[in-house]
Amino acid sequence: YQPIYSLKEKCVVSLEALVRLKDEKLGAIPPDEFIPLAEQNGTITQISEIVLEECCRFLAKHVLSNPSLGIRTIHVNIAAAQCLNRNLKESILPVLERYHVPTHMITLELTERTAIEAPKLMLWHMQEFGKIGMGFAMDDYGNGNSNCSYLIRFPFREIKIDKDMTWSYFENPTAKIVIENEIKTIQKLGLPLIMEGVEKKEQSDALEALGVDMIQGYYYGKPMPETECLRYIRRMHFAKEEYGKS
Ligand code: C2E
Ligand code: CA
Ligand code: CA
């Protein structure tokens, strides 16, 4: 789980579930390598089931019983193959019900590439999930074509600006102007905004000054196994309380 830090609330408010695969001989295999293969051979659906089940188990065990942790949602990535299934909701909802996880505690992350595979079906999924209180975040915003059209066509509840965009914001004056405008557009639409790939304090401070809501990046924490992640969240809470006292 990687923490998503709220610049306004000064604490971790969400987590993104990022799957890991370890092979006895090959060691750790990065998701950028095995997810595309799993998409090709169809095993992505089973991987997604395992990830969702793990997230619900984690929420039920550690978060529902402990609201003071302040975790409101877990973001789960969904793949194109899953969205082509008309019964997507029927495959997801029973898992949440089994663990008594409220629907608003899972946010589904979707890239443009996924959304555009079957736009009509995707819109229908988003409306159906919306009826039961489950939202979609647009992942990797800025990394594809014609991004603003996705804002117009699909009822996303949250936007995540891609890490390459974040990096070019700090390296390229032209990108800075364009991305600042994108940020303003998203803010005017009233959509919560997460910037990905923030690795330095100066970057976080600059984005805070622009009114960015949330940050996901190595500066606030790398993806961690669950025990380490829980320890990290508690430490952040403690630091916030201590800061408040001083
Ligand atoms: P993503 O959904 O865009 O996830 C964010 C990726 O950015 C993660 O890589 C994370 O470790 C990395 N990242 C976050 N902050 C920083 C930063 O500050 N600096 C740098 N250099 N990297 C940062 P990861 O875990 O290797 O995942 C790669 C991709 O694999 C994900 O990109 C996602 O597309 C896919 N993936 C991961 N888990 C799942 C899953 O459960 N299901 C599906 N369908 N795809 C997944
Ligand atoms: Ca993601
Ligand atoms: Ca992303």
List pLDDT tens digits, range 4-15. Answer: 999 999 999 999
Q: Which residue puts its alpha carbon closest to atom 17 of ligand 1?
A: 197
Name the residue of 4, 18, 110 whose CB sits within 8 Å of the most ligand 1 atoms, as the mutation to test its pocket: 18
Average pLDDT over residues 15-25: 96
- Number of Cβ within 10 Å of residue 237's Cβ equals 16
The percent of residues in the chain predicted with pLDDT above 70, rounded, is 98
Three-state SS at 122: helix
Dihedral sign for Cα 129, 21, 13, 10, please. Answer: negative
Predicted pLDDT of residue 30 = 94
Q: How far apart are CA 141 and CA 169, in angstroms?
A: 13
Average pLDDT over residues 80-102: 95
Q: Which ligand is nearest to the CA of 45?
A: 1
What is the model's pTM?
0.96
Name the residue among 36, 51, 124 with its Cα closest to residue 83: 124
Name the residue among 167, 161, 140, 156 with its Cα closest to residue 213: 161
Average pLDDT over residues 102-107: 98
Cα angle at 95 between 105 and 99, to 5 degrees?
65
Predicted pLDDT of residue 146 = 64
Shortest-distance atom of ligand 1 to CA 51:
41
Residues with Cβ within 8 Å of 58's Cβ and at least 6 positions away in sequence, in order, are 1, 74, 226
pLDDT tens, position by position, 187-221: 999 999 999 999 999 999 999 999 999 999 999 99
Q: How far apart are CA 144 and CA 161, in angstroms?
A: 11
Residue 115 tokens read as 């959304």
Residues in the ligand 1 pocket, defined by CB under 6 Å: 2, 17-19, 30-32, 35, 48, 51, 77, 79, 139-140, 163, 196-199, 216-218, 223
Shortest-distance atom of ligand 1 to CA 44:
44
Going by pLDDT thresholds of 50, 70 and 90, the confidence category of residue 241 is confident
Mean pLDDT score across all residues of the chain: 94
